[in-house]
């Protein structure tokens, strides 16, 4: 089984007070946690890559825990999430798909009422590559006030034999949400969508 | 009452656990606290910049405390620091200088305890998402070679034309694998700000 090698962990949060409109009584929060890890399959074609998913599970759990702590709110207040991955040039897009299960389930494990699929994005790129990680509501994907994305990246990662895995979480709707559609009070089906 | 009209505050930490195959134990850690504020003088020439100087004073304390808190260490454990400002396109470089230089240092030094050394700084004008490299130097003895560093930060939606991004970075460590000699931190007296 490949060993998980972490080079660095980057964690960030934003407190958003306004975006040109009324100042919110409670600032909206957004946060991200990124880990730069060695890609055990870089530089060759490896047919059997699924074992690495198990190695990623504890990392996902640790990242989710750190991110909730950095946001400084109880896990139940987190109401939007997303995940993403950038694979360095020595790897392939298929390696990125290994993050789906460990990334998504680690957040859903920590966040109550997280019925919705965790939206995701992936790419292959070099150091400094930016990734727009999509965000949707944790209980119902169609909640319009919570559609968002966070741009993340690290200037010196991923190197060719690395990958950057990302989790993002948000607390509250877009700061001046007013585009209509399904809102949180309208969630009824509890099917993860509406 | 805030002096600055703050749109958002971003706090980011990074922690290096391995570098070039070498384990970094304890990990080196850096944190930056960043405020996106309205530039009260965007789009016009104003001679007296004292309003921005007062904003600098407020942000020195606020961002200094947020950055230290993000590392979760006592203020005295902070080893290096730096500051930077990025002015949106309708402002001028002098606005960055007014925020950074006259009054920001004193409350920042209070937030990190001591700080005999010059706070290294950088400034620029640019658009949204422009990377800003915050220089880092040892807080009490500028010649400590292991602590010369820089931390890149960027905010994808700032600064808008009428905004300024103000950033403070702190560390509880130097570079991950320092080995270029020079003054070592345990040799520094930290009295004159240099050695």
Contacts of B18 in chain A (CB under 8 A): 5-8
Give the nearest partner residue to A5 out of B7, B18, B129, using CB atoms.
Answer: B18
Report A:52-111 residues touching B (Cβ under 8 A). 70
Domain count, chain A: 1
User: Is-contact A39 A17, C-beta < 8 A?
Assistant: no
Q: Within a domain: residue A194?
A: no
Q: Give the domain extent around A157.
A: 6-186
Residue A191 in this model has a pLDDT that exceeds 90: yes
| Residue A192, in any domain of the structure | no
Tell whether A1 is covered by a domain. no
Confidence band for B150, pLDDT divided at 50, 70 and 90: very high
On average, the pLDDT of chain A sits at 96
Residue A191 lies in a domain: no
Q: Is residue A123 part of a domain?
A: yes
- Measure Cα distances from A145 to A52, A77, A137, A175 in Å: 36, 15, 8, 9
Is A85 within a domain?
A: yes
Whole-number CA gyration radius for chain B? 17
Task: Report yes or no: B8 at the A interface, CB cutoff 8 Å.
Answer: yes
**Is residue B130 a contact partner of residue B163, using CB atoms and an 8 Å limit?**
no
Q: What is the pLDDT of residues A33-64, one digit of tens each?
A: 999 999 999 999 999 999 999 999 999 999 99
Mapped onto helix, strand or coil, the DSSP state of residue A88 is coil
Record: contact B8-A9, CB cut-off 8 A: no
Q: What is the interface pTM, i.e. ipTM, of the complex? A: 0.85
pLDDT band with cut points at 50, 70 and 90 for residue A29: very high
Cα separation of B108 and B104, whole Å? 6
Cβ distance B7 to A8 less than 8 Å, yes or no, reads no
Which residues, in sequence order, are CB contacts of A62 under 8 Å at separation 6+?
Answer: none
Task: Give the domain CATH number at A45.
Answer: 3.30.1330.110
A-facing residues of B in 140-159 (CB < 8 A) are: 152, 156
- What per-residue confidence (pLDDT) applies to A3? 73
A17/B7 touch (CB, cutoff 8 Å), yes or no: yes
Question: Is residue A150 in a domain?
Answer: yes
Residue to test with chain A: of B1, B4, B6, B8, most A Cβ within 10 A: B8
Which of B14, B65, B161 is the mutation pick for testing A, counting most A CBs within 10 A?
B14
pLDDT digit string (tens) for B78-137?
Answer: 999 999 999 999 999 999 999 999 999 999 999 999 999 999 999 999 999 999 999 999
pTM confidence score: 0.91
Enumerate domains of chain B plus CATH numbers.
6-187 (3.30.1330.110)
Q: Is pLDDT above 80 for A143?
A: yes
Alpha carbon of residue A107 to chain centroid: 9
Q: Does A151 touch chain B (CB under 8 A)?
A: yes
Report the pLDDT averaged over residues A16-22. 96
pLDDT at residue B151 greater than cutoff 70: yes
Whether A72 is in a domain gets the answer yes
Q: CA-based diameter of chain A, in Å?
A: 54
Residues of A in contact with B13 (CB under 8 A): 10-12, 70
């Amino acid at each position: 089984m490949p060993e998980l090698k972490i080079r660095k962990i980057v964690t960030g949060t934003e407190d958003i007070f306004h975006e040109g409109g009324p100042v919110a009584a409670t600032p909206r929060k957004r946060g991200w946690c990124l880990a730069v890890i060695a890609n055990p399959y870089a530089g060759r074609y490896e047919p059997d890559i699924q074992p690495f998913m198990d190695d990623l599970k504890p990392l996902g759990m640790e990242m989710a825990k750190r991110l909730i702590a950095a946001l400084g709110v109880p896990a139940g207040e987190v109401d939007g999430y997303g995940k993403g991955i950038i694979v360095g040039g020595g790897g392939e897009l298929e390696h990125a798909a290994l993050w789906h299960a460990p990334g998504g389930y680690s957040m859903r494990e920590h966040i109550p009422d997280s019925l919705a699929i965790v939206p995701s994005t992936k790419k292959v790129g070099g150091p400094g590559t930016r990734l727009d990680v999509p965000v949707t509501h944790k209980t119902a994907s169609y909640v319009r006030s919570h559609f968002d994305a966070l741009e993340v990246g690290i200037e010196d990662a991923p190197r060719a034999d690395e990958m950057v895995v990302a989790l993002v979480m948000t607390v509250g709707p877009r700061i001046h949400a007013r585009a209509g559609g399904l809102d949180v009070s309208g969630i009824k089906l509890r099917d993860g969508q509406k | 009452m805030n002096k600055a009209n703050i749109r958002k505050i971003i706090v980011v930490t990074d922690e290096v656990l391995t570098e070039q195959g070498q384990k970094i134990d304890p990990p080196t850690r850096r944190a930056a606290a960043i405020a996106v504020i309205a530039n009260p003088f965007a789009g016009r020439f104003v001679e007296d910049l004292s309003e921005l100087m007062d904003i600098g004073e407020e942000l020195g304390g606020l961002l200094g405390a947020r950055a230290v808190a993000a590392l979760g260490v006592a203020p005295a454990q902070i080893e290096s620091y730096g500051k930077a400002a990025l002015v949106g396109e309708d402002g001028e470089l002098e606005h960055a200088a007014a925020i950074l230089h006259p009054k920001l240092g004193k409350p920042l030094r209070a937030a990190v305890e001591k700080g005999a050394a010059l706070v290294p700084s950088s400034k620029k004008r640019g658009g949204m998402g422009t990377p800003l490299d915050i220089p880092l130097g040892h807080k009490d003895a500028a010649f400590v070679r292991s602590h010369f560093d820089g931390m890149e930060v960027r905010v994808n939606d700032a600064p808008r034309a009428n905004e300024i991004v103000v950033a403070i970075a702190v560390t509880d460590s130097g570079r991950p694998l320092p080995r270029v000699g020079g003054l070592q931190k345990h040799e520094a007296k930290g009295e004159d700000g240099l050695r």
